[in-house]
Amino acid sequence: MAENNHDAHPSIDHLVLLVFEAVLEVVCVSLPGYVIARLGHFDAEKQKFLANLNVMLFTPCLIFTKLASQLNADKLVDLAVIPVIFIIQTLVSYVVSVGVSKAFRFAKRPANFVTAMGVFGNSNSLPISLVISLSQTLKGLHWDRIPGDNDDEVAARGILYLLIFQQLGQLVRWSWGYHVLLAPKSRYEEYQDETVEEGRYRDDVDDVPEALIPGLDEHTLGDGHSDASDDSDAYEPAGRTPVAGTSLTTPVDSDDEASTPRRRSAPKKYGNGINGDMVSFPRVGDNESDVPTGLQGCFVRASLRINKAMTSTKQRIALCSGRVYQRLPNPVQKVLATTWKVWLRVYGFLWEFMNPPLWAMLIAIVVASVPDLQRVFFSEGTFVNNSVTRAVTQTGGVAVPLILVVLGANLARNTQTQEVRDPEEEQIGKKLLVASLISRMLLPTLIMAPVLALFAKYVPVSILDDPIFVIVCFLLTGAPSALQLAQICQINEVYEGVMSKILFQSYVIWILPSTLVLVMIALETVEWAQLSG
């Protein structure tokens, strides 16, 4: 175990300085994005482009280099404790938010809003930046189980832990959160009469549900989707590693079509990727006489011939397979048909679920699981390390700064004064703000602190001895509400004014004292577990 020295447990004033340095580093990187956005030079469409570029390119490179160089078979087994802690954290936040809502005597809709604010914390942009900063400024985070542990490896392990928490949170946020907790007002029976009355003054928008996505207008383009004439992808704000199949364009369930206009489905796309319409080529017929002349025509002819050959090959394989299948006994045909249907469903689910960061994580696990392959990529002096690994590492270095710049731009847009159109919001807005902050940044920490301490002391899992893992767990218990919640609120028109105030209070006012307290408690927990162990 680590010794209890000054570096492992600095004095309060020194710890305040170290945490302030880490938080200030985050502020300094994100501030230019905030200023540029407020000046009007960094609009939502540009934020959308950079956020998608980060998700598609820079973040996967960061994930690969950090994880593939750190993982091994033993660590993969130990990581199984993370889903357990995630479930406990989610349950605690849920119970706390329900109790707070009852104390404030909220009805179902505002109570669901408080629950969403309490359960869904930021697990990406802010925690990742803080972990990297703390690993460089706060000493005593080295893990004695790893010979020669250093600051870079501490940061890499912290990112690994956060990514797993993050993907678990995405699944819950874009299912339960989007469809239930932050559902539109029309989903609640007690608001049916009110929403019907409001619908009479919305320019008959319900009569043309395909024309415009509900909840958006020209002033909010980029927060969800572009205008109806544009098939651009959904805007993914910093803080989200999007999960395919849970995008904002998920159609409303058929049971709710009577009360809610159906949202326009987005083009089929890979992960959070860019759809195929982004790169276009001249459309020509199947006849090679239709192609243009010159060098471009040569490429087009070659492409046509390749496509014809592939199509012909597929047809022959399908024909032969069909003949063989028809000759098989009926029981065998039924087994094969059932197996094929199951495989198609599994394949479709995996393809829709996977996104570039998840693919990078999967590739990193494969590389880390094969020692020879890991040495090829990460041993000094190898050809692959000097070329491929170095290029990927440089590309991944852009991810965190870009995340923070877009984070600042998101705050500039989401914290601007929102016009309050909901009479209920005018009446209970302040109560919603206080209840949400208590449910997210105060009570869960007070309850989870002893739980995490008991885990660190008694659960025989090695990563619970890792100081950066304990810090990650505490940062997530008291992290501000996720920025994506503002996006969902804008789409479903759920207390948008309160949402902007929550973001301002949590990310600007309370982030420094909150981070300081969380880090102090985490270090006390590590020290107590080590001494008592």
Supply the pLDDT for residue 159. Answer: 85
Q: What are the helix (H) ranges across 328-422? A: 330-353, 356-369, 371-378, 383-384, 390-396, 399-414
Mean pLDDT within 347-358: 77
Do 326 and 436 belong together in one domain? no
Do 140 and 20 belong together in one domain? yes
Do 42 and 161 belong together in one domain? yes
Supply the pLDDT for residue 250. Answer: 35
CATH code at position 158:
1.20.1530
Supply the pLDDT for residue 437. Answer: 96
Q: 326 vs 8, which has greater pLDDT?
A: 326
Which of 84-88, 146-150, 275-279 shows the lowest per-residue confidence on average (mean pLDDT)?
275-279
Decide: 415 and 504 in contact? Cβ < 8 Å: yes
Mean pLDDT within 268-288: 40
Decide: 141 and 467 in contact? Cβ < 8 Å: yes
247 located within any domain? no
> pLDDT tens for residues 160-169?
899 889 878 8
| Position 285 pLDDT exceeds 60 | no
| Position 195 pLDDT exceeds 60 | no
Mean pLDDT within 447-469: 89
End-to-end alpha-carbon separation of the chain, Å?
Answer: 9
Q: CA–CA separation, 492 vs 221, rounded Å?
A: 14
pTM metric for this prediction: 0.68
Supply the pLDDT for residue 389. Answer: 95
User: 437: which residues sit within 8 A by CB, 6+ positions away?
Assistant: 502, 505, 506, 510
Which of 276-285, 364-373, 474-483 shows the lowest per-residue confidence on average (mean pLDDT)?
276-285
Which of 59-63, 182-186, 199-203 shows the lowest per-residue confidence on average (mean pLDDT)?
199-203
Give 481's strand partners: 121
Mean pLDDT within 264-272: 38
Domain count, the chain: 2
Q: 389 vs 283, which has greater pLDDT?
A: 389
Do 164 and 180 belong together in one domain? yes
Q: CA–CA separation, 398 vs 368, rounded Å?
A: 23
7 located within any domain? no
Q: CA–CA separation, 477 vs 86, rounded Å?
A: 10
41 located within any domain? yes
What tokens does 432 get?
């919603």
Do 348 and 473 belong together in one domain? no
| Position 157 pLDDT exceeds 80 | yes
DSSP 58: I
With bands split at pLDDT 50, 70 and 90, how would you rate the model's confidence at 199? Answer: low
The whole-angstrom distance between residue 458's C-alpha and the CA centroid of its chain comes to 31
| Position 340 pLDDT exceeds 60 | yes
How many residues can be counted in the chain? Answer: 533
242 located within any domain? no
Q: How many CB atoms lie within 10 A of CB 457?
A: 16
Supply the pLDDT for residue 411. Answer: 86
| Position 371 pLDDT exceeds 50 | yes
Question: In which domain, by residue range, is 299 found?
Answer: 291-354
pLDDT, the chain, mean: 78
Supply the pLDDT for residue 120. Answer: 95
Which of 60-69, 225-234, 351-360, 472-481 shows the lowest per-residue confidence on average (mean pLDDT)?
225-234
Mean pLDDT within 503-511: 90
Do 335 and 396 belong together in one domain? no
What tokens does 261 get?
């206009």
Supply the pLDDT for residue 420. Answer: 64
With bands split at pLDDT 50, 70 and 90, how would you rate the model's confidence at 294? Answer: low
Q: How buried is 140 (Cβ within 10 angstroms: 0-12 exposed, 13-18 middle, 19+ buried)?
A: middle
Highest mean pLDDT among 70-79, 164-173, 279-288, 346-355: 164-173
Mean pLDDT within 416-445: 87
Last residue of one domain, picked from the residues 301, 332, 354: 354
Q: Nearest to residue 166, comparing CAs of 128, 134, 114?
A: 128
Do 349 and 444 belong together in one domain? no
> pLDDT tens for residues 391-401?
999 999 998 89
Decide: 266 and 197 in contact? Cβ < 8 Å: no
| Position 237 pLDDT exceeds 70 | no
Supply the pLDDT for residue 173. Answer: 87
CA 265, 271, 276 angle in degrees (round to 5)?
70
> pLDDT tens for residues 106-122?
999 999 999 999 999 98
348 located within any domain? yes
Estimate the share of the chain in helix, then strand, then coil, as percent rounded to the nearest 5. Answer: 70, 0, 30
With bands split at pLDDT 50, 70 and 90, how would you rate the model's confidence at 47? Answer: confident
Do 19 and 159 belong together in one domain? yes
3-class state of residue 121 by DSSP: strand
232 located within any domain? no
| Position 374 pLDDT exceeds 70 | yes
Do 388 and 484 belong together in one domain? yes
What tokens does 102 get?
């009852």
Amino acid at 387: S
Mean pLDDT within 265-292: 43
| Position 526 pLDDT exceeds 90 | no
28 located within any domain? yes
What tokens does 122 get?
């930021």
Mean pLDDT within 77-104: 94
Supply the pLDDT for residue 377. Answer: 94
Mean pLDDT within 235-264: 37
Supply the pLDDT for residue 9. Answer: 57
| Position 315 pLDDT exceeds 80 | yes
Do 302 and 439 belong together in one domain? no
Do 385 and 339 belong together in one domain? no
Last residue of one domain, picked from the residues 311, 326, 354: 354
Supply the pLDDT for residue 68. Answer: 87
Amino acid at 398: V
Percentage of the residues of the chain whose pLDDT score is greater than 90:
27
Decide: 507 and 411 in contact? Cβ < 8 Å: yes
Do 66 and 178 belong together in one domain? yes
Q: CA–CA separation, 344 vs 339, rounded Å?
A: 9
254 located within any domain? no
Supply the pLDDT for residue 438. Answer: 96
Q: CA–CA separation, 516 vs 501, rounded Å?
A: 22
Last residue of one domain, picked from the residues 337, 354, 371: 354
Give 121's strand partners: 481
User: 62: which residues sit within 8 A by CB, 6+ positions away?
Assistant: 159, 396, 397, 399, 400
